[in-house]
Structure 1
């Protein structure tokens, strides 16, 4: 089974210790059953050390059971930690363009699937102990009567076949329910992020619940009920087979020459003790199938995300670059097109030819759908051009140099995410500039910087955007990208942005690319370029 292989690979030594103590726990459990059986048949007087043996076995069973739970818990949580960190790393190291297309699948995997694997693994300790106990009981049953044990094993075999036949259907319903969960997760995103729109329109609110959330939840419930009912039916059939088998033995005892009534009574006691741990093991089969479905989803996401090569690159030689005369970076006949089979998404931009000098302020304008955002993503190296050359300080930027190229950029995108820590930023810059920026952006009365952390991000939309700009400025990069930053600011802060902040950045030697529609402030730009139908046109120079 894949999850057992994952556990073993996580830490072979801990896996070995967990296995050993689980076996010891099972042996102790079996020994306790043997002592109970001995007491029932011969009484306590037959063994003067009975009390010590019994108490010792029970104590050892308890200790090894706790150790088994501890080792398996450490192992499972280490495995979950590894799954989470490796998948997160894979997502962040993957092509941004590929990741962007899979966002609706990535979040359910990071939340639902990994959490379910974790919950399933937490059920493992009693299952391992139960399996060890069942094996020990079966061995003891062989000692009591190998003939009756073979008969019992036939019953166990039939029970196993019933469970085995049910497994493909359990997996089928679990997969179907999990596929529907992707839709439900998307619906929940609508509830959270579309709350304003839904609150404004009651009909939209009602329709969203009735035509989206309701049907999807109902469909998932249908598959989950089928899964639970099938599991319940298979479990009850197994129990019925075992009980009916015992009944057949009892009814036909007189006609079976190798069965003795007294011997069968002793054997039956051990057999009944064996059923409970076997039921625990059998009950875990449903969780195994759900876990396999979740692990497959995790694998599928990993396969669909093409990791960018992790090149060990040296710093480029910029010694021949002259900042006074040479462009900081340039695009030469650069094209980009979306890799999509859909006619609606076959949008492309290019050819783009652009030289940007150090300390330039360039405004990018253009209508919706003209390619501004695509251009910015390509400009920052998030999208890889399908054709053309990019140069940074006179050096060609190849695939090997993409990460090196990206580190020269910082900014605020329209769909930015505001992190609450500044640990990636030079502490001396934070100490020197953070408080001044907070005051200049007039959020110092709400936000404090303490030990590299932002005290709160629970601010108004405009305040959050100002805070995001502060973080970008503190990163102290060569080029700043502001994607319609001023669009949601009031006139007062627009004035601060265009007339004070951008010139201050320019004075520090920074280059600014700002998507803007504020014609009032075009005079503060060194250049204005326009995106129109994927083409970049110079408007002001």
Structure 2
């Protein structure tokens, strides 16, 4: 148990100062309740031992003081815990998001389901357990105070009580090991559930057309995970519950022994027996609290280990240093890529070595069949996939592999699986006059306008959404525009306009360089340079030799 708490505390997820403050409040609140029981014990003891009527007036002010302390401390504690719980909850989420933003792209794609599970399940478990630490420490203090008071009442009865309590703890700990294993298995299944859920969301159109797909996913995949997860989780919690009940039975047996046998065996006075039993009954609360916290801490410990492993995995291929001089090569004239290479793994598909030159204001098209490596090539050039080898030269100045981030800021892409942001993120000063010019150029001025820095709508066709994405990309004011099958979703009229009017305007008026993956062979003649991607290799093609074919 101490290990679980130390791990959560070492993770710096819990602000230390509020934790100490609220723990003190919890102890004060608990001790005030303990004081209340002590006063009652004193009154009962005096009533039993004294032949005269006990005056409660002497204890009135003590009762008022104890109740006032209990009310104030409990009120402050409750409001503080509410604030602390929300702070921990959102701080953990913010930390996870920061981790995601810094993670390598390819690694992040591999861990999508794990990230979702962490942001939902793990964050809740850890934040809940963080709050339980306060209750745990205050319960420990109260248990210690009760034991001291019980020793004052009767060392013999204390000895019997400690043996029984220790026996209950041992039973609970042994049985908890199985429960902890089952909780860990349930957490592993959370990732599978998220993957199934994502397949339902992402395949919503296909499922809507063919409902049998959804039925099969639900019956054969989701139901299996849900049923197994529910069964294991219920079994784990029932083991905790049974252990808790066994401990409580031992506790009640202890009380029965004290009432029936402590007098004949230990010659315990009646007043001492009554006082001791009152303290035992009060002690049950903190002990049950500690026992209840154990499964919560176990779940949090599993989640914390998962979260730490996720952090290690996502930072294993650490992103290269982010350089402050983002505009260092903005005015480049010539970019040479040399020996760029990337592989998905041993005996798996690879791209490279790639060698090609990019001259400013050049229009470069890359074509090739499906599965030949065109998109992987783009991701490699953009350094979304960490290079196995390669270097770049900007205006004959070497940019070594370890500093390749320096040239990433030359590129502004629109991917085939693009995401359209409705706001101009990452653009410090938006030129709205230029935005309106682009909206007109891309024939969107009658459908979209700017409202408070946002596009008025993004509910458009795929081709029109791609146009908005390209406008957003152009506003980043980076010299090289990279397009992956951008024109594939455009109608014939706009596709013709794009190749014959828009690209020349972007090159001549906006000082852009274009790299585009395209299958539009009838417009290959508009390129300055044409490359073919085949089996992961990039080969330059003579455009004039293809003119008879295309």
Q: Paired residue for 2:22, among 11, 18, 26?
A: 18
Question: Offset at 1:273?
Answer: 1.7
The residue aligned with 1:521 is: 523
Range that drifts further, 355-364 or 418-427: 418-427
Aligned equivalents of 2:178, 2:44: Cα separation in 1: 43
Question: Offset at 1:82?
Answer: 4.0
Question: Offset at 1:486?
Answer: 2.0
> What SS does structure 2 have at the residue aligned with 1:308?
coil
> What SS does structure 2 have at the residue aligned with 1:414?
coil
Range that drifts further, 436-445 or 208-217: 436-445
Aligned equivalents of 2:435, 2:360: Cα separation in 1: 24
Aligned equivalents of 2:403, 2:542: Cα separation in 1: 32
Q: Paired residue for 2:339, among 333, 338, 358?
A: 333
Aligned equivalents of 1:87, 1:125: Cα separation in 2: 24
Whether the aligned pair in 1 keeps the contact of 2:104 and 2:319 (CA below 8 Å) is no
Q: 2:321 matched to 1:297?
A: no
Aligned equivalents of 1:460, 1:322: Cα separation in 2: 36
The residue aligned with 1:475 is: 476
1:55-454 aligned within 5 A: 55-305=64-314, 306=316, 308=318, 311=321, 313=323, 315=325, 323=333, 327=334, 329-340=335-346, 343=347, 346-429=348-431, 431-444=432-445, 447-454=448-455
Range that drifts further, 136-145 or 213-222: 136-145
| Structure 1 segments unaligned to the other structure (5+ residues) | none
Whether the aligned pair in 2 keeps the contact of 1:528 and 1:540 (CA below 8 Å) is yes
Distance 1:258 1:412, change over 3 A: farther
Range that drifts further, 177-186 or 145-154: 145-154
Distance 1:420 1:122, change over 3 A: farther
Distance 1:459 1:252, change over 3 A: farther
Question: Offset at 1:294?
Answer: 0.5
Range that drifts further, 399-408 or 471-480: 399-408
> What SS does structure 2 have at the residue aligned with 1:198?
helix
Q: Paired residue for 2:532, among 518, 522, 530?
A: 530
Whether the aligned pair in 2 keeps the contact of 1:412 and 1:468 (CA below 8 Å) is yes
Distance 1:402 1:413, change over 3 A: same
Aligned equivalents of 1:180, 1:23: Cα separation in 2: 38
| Structure 2 segments unaligned to the other structure (5+ residues) | 48-52, 544-550
Whether the aligned pair in 2 keeps the contact of 1:37 and 1:266 (CA below 8 Å) is yes
Count of matched residue pairs: 532
TM score, norm. by length of structure 2: 0.88
Range that drifts further, 178-187 or 139-148: 139-148
Distance 1:107 1:9, change over 3 A: closer
> What SS does structure 1 have at the residue aligned with 2:417?
coil
Aligned equivalents of 2:317, 2:212: Cα separation in 1: 44
Range that drifts further, 25-34 or 35-44: 35-44
Whether the aligned pair in 2 keeps the contact of 1:411 and 1:480 (CA below 8 Å) is yes
Distance 1:495 1:319, change over 3 A: closer
Aligned equivalents of 1:6, 1:421: Cα separation in 2: 39
RMSD: 2.8
Aligned equivalents of 2:331, 2:471: Cα separation in 1: 30
Deviations 1:123-160 (A, max 9, x none): 55555544444443333333333332332222221121
Question: Offset at 1:188?
Answer: 0.2
TM score, norm. by length of structure 1: 0.90
The residue aligned with 1:30 is: 34
Distance 1:259 1:41, change over 3 A: closer
Distance 1:30 1:464, change over 3 A: farther
